[in-house]
Amino acid sequence: MKLWKAALIPAGVCALTYLTVHGRKDQPGWEKFAHVRFAHRGLHGPGAPENSLAAFRRAAEAGYGAELDVHLTADGYLAVIHDSDLARMCGVEGRVEDLTALELGKLRLAGSGEPIPFLEQVLPLFEGRGPLVVELKTAGGNHAALCARTLECLDRFRADYCIESFDPRCLLWLRQNRPEALRGQLTQDFLLHGDAQPLRNRLTLTAMLCNGLTRPDFVACRYQDRGMLPLRLWRLWGGRTALWTIHTPGELKETERLGALPIFENFDPKEVRHDEE
Q: Which residues are catalytic?
A: 40, 82
The 3-state DSSP class for residue 150 equals helix
How many angstroms separate the CA atoms of 118 and 113, rounded? 15
How many angstroms separate the CA atoms of 56 and 39, rounded? 8
Question: Smallest Cα–Cα separation from 53: which of 62, 39, 42, 61?
Answer: 42
Amino acid letter at 124? P
Cβ count near 48 (within 10 Å) = 20
How many angstroms separate the CA atoms of 45 and 41, rounded? 11
How many angstroms separate the CA atoms of 157 and 121, rounded? 10
Question: Per DSSP, what are the bridge partners of residue 244?
Answer: 222, 263
Range list of H helices, the chain: 2-21, 53-62, 87-90, 101-105, 119-122, 143-154, 168-177, 199-206, 211-214, 229-237, 249-257
Burial of 146-161, coded b for 16+ CB within 10 Å and e otherwise, reads bbebbbebbeebebbb
> Any idea what DSSP says for residue 163?
E
